[in-house]
Every structure is written in structure tokens, then in C-alpha cells.
């Protein structure tokens, strides 16, 4: 190695005419070797990188060509699969004949007029429409909506509805859930809300015409039958011996729902349901303890009387929630008149529940839908009820739920009076209204 280095150094010295000592030959040779190895590795890396880029380019070009060919083939050919679903003749199902129904028959079948159906389809149609694929044509949005409305209005078995509309059994369950979700997502906030502004003034005037002042709505509750759930079935067993969930609702003078809270087990007390609701939290979290704007309050004998709701004896007495006097005590003539007037105004909530269940009978008998889905079904039915009332789609007398003998066995549980009231501001407000009722009505 030393001789080779000396030889290289001598050769370089002779070529460059430099006087380089021979003992530097080893160092020069080592430098030369390192530079050569560095250049060799650099060229190798460049070759590897060039080869990688070439392979990547070829993969991308192959993928582009394949996707282009697939796109062209999808336009000129249709994939034919073996039988995916049972081919049902259109003549064998209700929906085929429904296109020829007159107005009366249409409303008898779907519980709403054709005009209301078209309006509802326009509202939820984009949400329930499904994309066409090469496998099979999707169920059209109007048939999906008709399936859900049929289930809401009758709550028949999925198998029966599937045969009537020419679809699969599982499809009925899926469609009901999809339409329910679409109604709540697209319509709930517009159709269910506490009155405000001009609507609040209109509501107060309407109840004042019924001889009760400062009222913005009626709060009430009703039990919705369900099949016994798998988890904690005893919690849903109400005092009348059947399983249910509770619907708590606020109703205005037009029998429309302005607040809906559903899903608590049937064994729960009215006061417990109220205390867990958003309505209660909204009122109690306000510094003044009022549910509606304080500027709507009036003064009588130095007492501020706020705009409030009214309920039955099962609810607690609050400044924003009035109720009549207990009949267990000796009442004065003024107290009896107040209680009677309040009870008379409360009748609108019974009307709303009767129409709700009479039109949508899935709330009138036990259904085969999961209990976790029932609160959404109840809320969707309340939205549909409000929509029909707002559009003037009248309720037919033959739909009256109270006249149906098949549901008499599911009689609503009796009201249990709330015993936790104590003398407070709400008591002062109630006494002021009681003894100054005629004067307050003149405001």
C-alpha cells in the first residue's frame, strides 16, 4: 500500500511538476479512494430514485387507464346480477292502486290529504331519497314516505306493510327510522317551539277569551304503550298494569304542541319527569325564575303576575306554572271559581292528545319498534300533528281515540297529586289571580 501510494504520489508530482514528498502518498491515495466511493454511492442513489419514480409513474398510469375503462364500460353496459330481491308485481300492492285514490280515500288511508302529503314530501324528500346503483333501483321517496305514514297511522306488523307496499320486511323498519329522522332534522325546530313575539301575544289573548289571564300554554302528560323492553322492564310498568313511556307536552290555544319531552319510563312520577326536562331547566336557571319575558307581566295589588303555563294537580306550583287548588280542602267561592276556570282552559291539552293519538295510532297501541326509538317516533308524530293543524288538514271524527273500544284496556293511569308544595311566591301569585280574576281579565 505504501509503495502504491508512493507510486501515485510520484506520478502526480511528475504530471503536475510538483515536488511532493513520497511519504504523502498514502494520504493522497486514501483521499482518492474516499472521493471515488462517494461518487459511486451518489450515482447509485440517483439510479435507485430514478427507478422508483419510473415505477410510480407506471402505477399511476395503469390506475388511470383502468379507472377510465371502468367509467366507459359503466356508461355503455349495465351489470346484470342474479336475483337480489323478490320481484313483486305492482298490481299486488297498495301503493300501485294509491295513485288512483280520490281525495277522500287517500286521506282515509294515509291520515293526511294529498296536498299535505305533497307538502311533506317536499320538506323531507331530499333527505330520504336514495341514489340509483347498478344493483337495483331505489325505492322512490314518495313510496318511502307513504310507508312511514301508514306505519304511524296504524302501526301494523312490518310483514303486513311490506306486502302492501311491495318491499322487504327489513326495508319497512329502515324506512320508518329514516323518515322519522328526516322529519325531526328538517322540521322539528320550525314546528315545535314555545310561543314568542306576536305568537305569544296571540296565545295570551286566546286564553284570556277563555277567562284565564296571562297563560302561554297548557302542560300535561300522557302514557304511550310499548312492548315490554329487555332492560329494566319493571321501570316501564305503570300503575294500571301495562308498559309505557311518558309524553310530557305543552300545548297552545290551537291544540298545537309547543314543547315535547318523551321517553321516561311509565312508573316515573309527573314531577320527576318535569324536573328532568329542558323546560324546567330553562325556567329555573333564569335569575328571575320566569319562563317568558318579564315585560309581559302585569301588576295587581302590588303583586307581579308573570306569563305562565297551567297544569293539573300532579305538577308542582311555580311562578311560571300555575295549578288549581286541591279539592281536599274547604275552598272559598273564589278558589272554586279559579280552579274551575283553570280546568276549563286545560281542556285543550286533552284535545291535543286525543287528536295526536287518533291520527297516529302507533301511539295508541303497543308497537314492535325498540323502546329507544319511541321518543323520536313520539316527537315526529307531534311535528306531523302541528303541520296538519297549521295547514288546516282537519281531524276526522271517526279517528277519535277515545271512541275506539280496542284500547279501553289501556286506560290512562290516574293523576297523583303533588304533595311537595310549600307557601312561596307562587302561592301569592295564585291567590292574587284568584281574588282579582275579574279585574285582571280587564287589563
Given 190, 205, 221, the domain boundary residue is 190
Task: Report if residue 84 sits inside a domain.
Answer: no
Strand ranges of the sheet holding 215-225, from the earlier edge strand across to the other edge: 257-265, 244-251, 215-225, 308-310, 321-322
Which of 302, 320, 298 has its CA nearest to residue 311? 320
- Tell me what pLDDT residue 78 has: 53
Given 76, 104, 132, the domain boundary residue is 76
Q: Per-residue pLDDT for the chain (443 aa), expressed as one digit of tens each?
A: 545 555 555 555 554 454 555 556 677 777 878 888 888 888 888 888 888 888 888 888 888 888 888 878 777 755 555 545 555 554 457 788 887 888 888 998 899 999 999 999 999 999 998 776 655 677 889 999 999 999 999 877 888 888 888 888 888 999 999 999 999 999 999 999 999 999 999 999 999 999 999 999 999 999 999 998 888 889 999 998 999 999 999 999 999 999 999 999 999 999 999 999 999 999 988 777 789 999 999 999 999 999 999 999 999 999 999 999 987 778 899 999 999 999 999 999 999 999 999 999 999 888 878 899 999 999 999 999 999 999 999 999 888 865 454 544 688 998 889 988 877 889 999 999 999 998 888 87
CA gap 129, 179 in Å, rounded: 10
Which of 438, 425, 435 has its CA nearest to residue 308? 425
Task: Specify whether 416 is located in the same domain as 390.
Answer: yes
Task: Specify whether 145 is located in the same domain as 260.
Answer: no
Task: Report if residue 82 sits inside a domain.
Answer: no
Instruction: Domain of residue 230: give its range.
Output: 195-441
Number of compact structural domains in the chain: 3
Q: What are phi and psi of 293, to 5 degrees?
A: -55, 135
CB atoms within 10 A of CB 42: 10
Task: Specify whether 240 is located in the same domain as 170.
Answer: no
CB 412 within 8 A of CB 247: no
CA gap 102, 107 in Å, rounded: 9
CA gap 382, 363 in Å, rounded: 11
Amino acid at each position: 500500500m505504501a509503495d502504491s501510494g508512493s507510486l501515485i504520489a510520484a506520478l502526480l508530482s511528475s504530471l503536475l511538476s510538483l515536488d511532493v514528498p513520497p511519504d504523502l502518498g498514502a494520504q493522497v491515495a486514501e483521499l482518492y479512494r474516499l472521493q471515488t466511493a462517494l461518487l459511486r454511492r451518489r450515482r447509485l442513489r440517483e439510479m435507485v430514485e430514478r427507478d422508483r419514480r419510473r415505477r410510480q409513474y407506471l402505477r399511476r398510469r395503469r390506475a388511470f387507464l383502468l379507472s377510465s375503462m371502468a367509467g366507459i364500460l359503466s356508461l355503455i353496459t349495465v351489470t346484470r346480477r342474479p336475483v337480489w330481491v323478490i320481484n313483486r308485481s305492482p298490481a299486488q300492492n297498495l301503493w300501485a292502486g294509491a295513485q288512483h285514490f280520490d281525495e277522500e280515500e287517500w286521506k282515509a288511508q294515509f291520515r293526511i290529504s294529498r296536498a299535505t302529503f305533497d307538502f311533506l314530501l317536499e320538506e323531507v324528500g331530499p333527505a330520504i331519497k336514495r341514489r340509483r346503483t347498478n344493483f337495483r333501483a331505489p325505492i322512490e321517496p314518495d313510496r318511502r314516505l307513504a310507508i312511514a305514514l301508514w306505519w304511524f297511522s296504524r302501526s301494523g306488523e312490518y310483514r303486513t306493510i311490506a306486502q302492501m307496499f311491495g318491499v322487504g320486511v327489513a326495508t319497512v323498519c329502515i324506512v320508518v327510522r329514516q323518515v322519522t329522522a328526516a322529519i325531526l332534522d328538517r322540521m322539528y325546530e320550525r314546528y315545535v317551539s314555545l310561543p314568542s313575539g306576536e305568537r305569544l301575544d296571540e296565545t295570551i289573548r286566546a286564553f284570556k277569551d277563555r277567562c284565564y289571564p296571562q297563560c302561554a300554554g297548557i302542560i300535561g302528560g300522557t302514557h304511550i304503550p310499548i312492548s315490554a323492553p329487555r332492560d329494566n322492564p319493571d321501570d316501564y310498568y305503570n300503575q294500571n298494569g301495562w308498559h309505557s313511556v311518558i309524553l310530557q307536552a305543552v300545548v297552545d290555544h290551537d291544540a298545537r304542541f309547543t314543547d315535547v319531552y318523551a321517553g321516561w319510563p311509565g312508573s316515573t312520577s309527573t314531577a320527576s319527569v318535569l324536573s328532568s326536562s329542558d323546560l324546567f331547566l330553562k325556567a329555573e336557571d333564569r335569575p328571575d325564575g320566569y319562563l317568558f319575558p318579564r315585560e309581559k307581566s302585569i301588576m295587581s295589588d302590588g303583586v307581579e303576575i308573570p306569563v305562565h303555563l297551567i297544569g293539573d294537580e300532579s305538577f308542582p306550583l311555580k311562578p311560571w306554572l300555575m295549578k288549581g287548588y286541591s279539592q281536599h280542602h274547604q275552598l272559598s267561592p273564589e278558589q272554586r271559581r279559579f280552579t274551575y276556570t283553570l280546568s276549563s282552559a286545560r281542556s285543550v291539552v286533552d284535545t291535543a292528545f286525543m287528536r295526536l293519538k287518533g291520527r297516529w295510532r302507533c301511539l295508541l297501541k303497543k308497537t314492535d319498534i325498540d323502546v329507544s326509538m319511541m321518543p323520536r317516533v313520539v316527537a315526529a308524530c307531534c311535528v306531523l300533528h302541528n303541520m296538519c293543524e297549521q295547514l288546516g288538514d282537519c281531524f276526522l271524527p271517526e279517528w277519535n281515540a277515545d271512541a275506539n273500544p280496542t284500547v279501553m284496556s289501556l286506560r290512562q293511569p290516574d293523576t297523583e297529586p303533588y304533595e311537595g308544595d310549600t307557601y312561596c311566591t307562587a302561592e301569592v301569585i295564585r291567590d292574587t289571580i284568584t281574588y282579582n280574576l275579574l279585574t285582571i281579565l280587564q287589563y
